[in-house]
Structure formats: structure tokens, C-alpha cells
Amino acid sequence: MHSISYERARDVAHAIELGSAPGSKFIGGGTNLLDLYKSGVEQPTRLVDVSRIALNGIEQLPDGGVRIGAMASNTAAANHALVRGPYRVLSEAILNGASAQLRNMATVGGNLLQRTRCYYFTDPHFKQCNKREPGSGCAALGGFNRIHAILGASPSCIATHPSDMAVALVALDASVRLAGPDGERVLPIADFHRLPGDEPQFDTVIAPGELITAIDLPPATFAHSHYVKVRDRASYAFALVSVAAALDVQDGAVRDLRLVLGGVAHKPWRAVEAEDVLRGRAPDDALIRQAAAAAVAGAQAFPHNAFKVELAQRAIVRAVRAVRTAGGLA
């Protein structure tokens, strides 16, 4: 164990000041960071406790949207009346994650920053991991890669992003509010996480010292939405494949929609090609299957995860059919 200091931030400005120092890490619920610290993957020299900062509110915005404070627990966000009704897919996604005990502790901001559960990353005994040790290689490429990416991967990394919440937030066109040494900024959630490229050590575009302060949801435009998660067991398991589907249906046709996949890429994967197939048309079973095939047209499978190509299509069909039924089209 190496030496480490601990300081509790008084407010956002104090947190940024403390968190800007090299070796500093923000800690809220700590449900992911502490595991990585104990295993030696993360080795901060200072923990900056942001759990007491008043960023846990959930409130209606003047435009009809909703702001969820970054320190709100996963449980609070999933069960809040402002989320549970108009943003059903988000509530479902959160409640499909982890366990009740972890959801009570984990924060919304921390959920977005959790790191991959690729076994070659989380176990330092594996020396080849470009995400943990840039330039060392990717052991998953020639190893056991059942849980790994089929979309958007690179020769440097085929890890997947583990968050259920993030998948739903992309489907809802949410935004991330950040505060840092250079001031505040707001990013579309779709631009917050990044593909691995040749720098897989960077999961997001967050800058050193920046702190997530809130998630903003736009006014609800999708009347019906649903989250499907396929995993190895019914609880406390990460997605092999997940789908967040949100549809706006009028006069029997899909006016607009979002289809976002989880468990298949380094970030939540918006299936734009599948959306294009469905947009403006009546979503019968044949068309839904066509859309599902379009979603994985560019997939690159590996020896142990080829099943994800078919599984992703089936999950899309299941999710869209559920939304279609909720919209009275079935």
C-alpha cells in the first residue's frame, strides 16, 4: 500500500482546487474507485471527498426538463417522480444495475465515471492492458473475450463500458454539466464517453480537476421507452448486451426514436442506422428485424463473443416490440 491523503471538499470550488493537484481523485460513493484502489489498478495520492457537497437535488427546470445532481444516489434518481414517469427508460436502466445496496451508495456522477470490468484491466497480474499501462498491448485480443466489444473497438482496446445509466441517458439526449479550473461547460452525454482509438486509457473527455455537477434531461419528447438488459444472471451482473429504446409514435408511424446499445462498445453505442430504418414508418416485425440487422452491420466479433451479434439483434427486437405495444401499435 502506498501513502494516501484524504480531504473533504467544502463546496465545488474547493473540490476543484483540491482535485486539480496531480494524483488526486474525487470520491463520492466510492463503489468502483475503492475496488480499483484495493486491487492496485488505481493509485491516487489524494482522495477528495465530494459526498457532502450539496449536489444531490433533483428538480424541474424552467423549460420542463429535469436536473439530477451528480451526488444524487442511483436509488434516489431511479425512484424520483420526475424521473420514473416521463423518463421511464432511465429509471429501468438504473434499477437493472448492481444491487439495491450499491444503488443506495453509488452516485449519478460516479456511475458515469465507472471503469470497464474487463478482467485484463481489473487484475494487475495481467501485464498487457493498454487502458491500465499504455503501450503494453491488449491481452483480450488473443485471450478470453466473451464480454468484450463488437462495435467501435480498436487494435489497442476491445473493452466495453459498464454503465446501464449512461445507455439510457444517451437515448434521452441528456447533457453533462462539468465544473473545473477553466470554468463550467455543458456536453451532450453522447460526446462525454469516447471510443478507445489509440488512447484507451481515457474513458471520457473530462479534464484534470473537472467535476461532474449535474445531469440535465431535456423535456420528455418520447412518450414510450423501455430498457432491456441481457446478462448471465438476474441481478448484480453487467450487461452482455443492453438496449435503451425510446419512440415517438404518431398515426401508426415512428416520428422519431433513439436506439442505444450497451455492453457492445467502449461507450454507449447509438444505433443510428437502425433508427434510420424505422423513422417515418410503421414498426411491424419485419421492419424491426431489418433495423436490428442494420444496427450490427459493422460489427467485428472475436472468437468468444460472436454470439453478441445475434444477441444484440434479438435485444433490439424485444425492446422495440415492448415500446410498440406500450404505444398501442401491437
pLDDT in tens, 285-322: 999 999 999 999 999 999 999 999 999 999 999 999 99
**Number of domains, the chain:** 1
Task: Establish if 283 belongs to a structural domain.
Answer: yes
Task: Establish if 166 belongs to a structural domain.
Answer: no
**Domain containing 298 — which CATH number?**
3.30.390.50
pLDDT reading at 283 higher than 60:
yes
Q: Taking the C-alpha atoms of 71, 30, 161 and 67 in order, what is their torsion angle to the nearest 10 degrees?
A: 0
Give the model's pLDDT for residue 151: 98
**Domain carrying residue 302:** 224-326
Give the other-Cβ count within 10 Å of 33's Cβ: 21
| Neighbouring-strand partners of residue 224 | 247
CA angle (240, 271, 298) in 5-degree steps: 80
Task: Establish if 246 belongs to a structural domain.
Answer: yes
pLDDT in tens, 150-164: 999 999 999 999 999
pLDDT reading at 92 higher than 70:
yes
Quick one: which of 253, 100, 93 has its CA closest to 174?
93
Task: Tell me the CA end-to-end span of the chain in Å, nearest whole number.
Answer: 59
Question: CA-to-CA distance for 72 and 240, rounded, in angstroms?
Answer: 27
Arithmetic mean of pLDDT over the chain: 97
**Global pTM value:** 0.97
Give the model's pLDDT for residue 330: 62
Burial tier of 69 (Cβ tally within 10 Å: 0-12, 13-18, 19+): buried
Give the model's pLDDT for residue 3: 86
